[in-house]
Amino acid sequence: MYRYVLALSFVYLVGPTSAKDRRILMTDPAYVAHELDRLESELQQLQAKVTTQQHTIDSQQSTITTLTSQGGRGVVYTRWGRKDCPEGSGNQLVYSGYAGGSWYSAAGPAANPLCMPPDPTWGPHKNTSLTYPSYLYGAEYDDTTVFGMADFSEDVPCAVCRSSAHSIINMIPGRTSCYPGWTVAYEGLLTSGYPKSNSGNEFICMDGHPQAVLGGGNTNDNGLLFYAVLSQCGSLPCPPYENNKVLSCVVCMM
């Protein structure tokens, strides 16, 4: 009965316009069966699309639920000079590694330092002979006073950290505290490369309580060298700044 009513409705909507033609089609079992099969096929296709869309909605809802449980936030940053992440603020250690970069006096260096992981995995070009290679070295503290190291040979560790409680991070040079509304990740010393070297370096915030890589102080290997930064009056107004003073820094999150 259901199949007959469905076929009758279909014929009425899309079938021939004359009453005589409709009566002929409704009495043709082959035509009715054909139209029912076509309608059932279309219905199955629609059901499959609905099922696929529902799976997509369920997946998106799961992602939204996860992000909501974390406050919808997350930020990754590097803590230079330490092997661990700051306590609190939802901080998690992604990995602890070794600071690295270009040779301290290279003429065509990469400016940014890198936090190299302790467990490298090599790709298919590991043993390829390069005609024009670039190079990456480890890093050393090149000052025994401000960093509190025993000598110039101590190597620099680093830690890549994730905070699930924040979504924005910013390094503020020349300060030891964050502005209102921001949370301190860590504070320390503003560092860069030596100005008389050929290489260019980024200004980074070295943790105020730096550590050394275990066993890294046996030899002075140079590589990427970190130096504390002094303020210079002139275009930098004094006051509020003072000439030849060691600049601090703070890493802030929101």
Whose CA is closest to 212, among 142, 165, 161, 135? 142
Q: Give the model's pLDDT for residue 230.
A: 93
pLDDT at 37 over 50: yes
Tokens 């890589």 appear where? 213
Reported confidence tier of residue 224, pLDDT bands at 50, 70, 90: confident
Backbone angles phi, psi at 78, to 5 degrees: -105, 130
pLDDT at 7 over 90: no
pLDDT tens by residue, 206-220: 999 999 998 777 788
Interacting residues of 192 by C-beta distance below 8 A, sequence separation 6+: 201, 202, 203, 204, 226, 227, 229
CB 210 within 8 A of CB 156: yes
CA–CA gap between residue 207 and residue 228 (Å, rounded): 12
Helix (H) or strand (E) holding 207: strand 204-207
Q: In 3-state terms, what secondary structure has residue 61?
A: helix
Helix (H) or strand (E) holding 141: strand 137-141
DSSP letter (8 states) at residue 78 = E
User: Average pLDDT for residues 219-239, to the nearest whole number?
Assistant: 90
| In the chain, alpha helices (H) | 2-14, 19-26, 29-69
Q: Give the model's pLDDT for residue 12.
A: 41
Q: Give the model's pLDDT for residue 116.
A: 94
Distance between start and end Cα atoms, the chain: 66
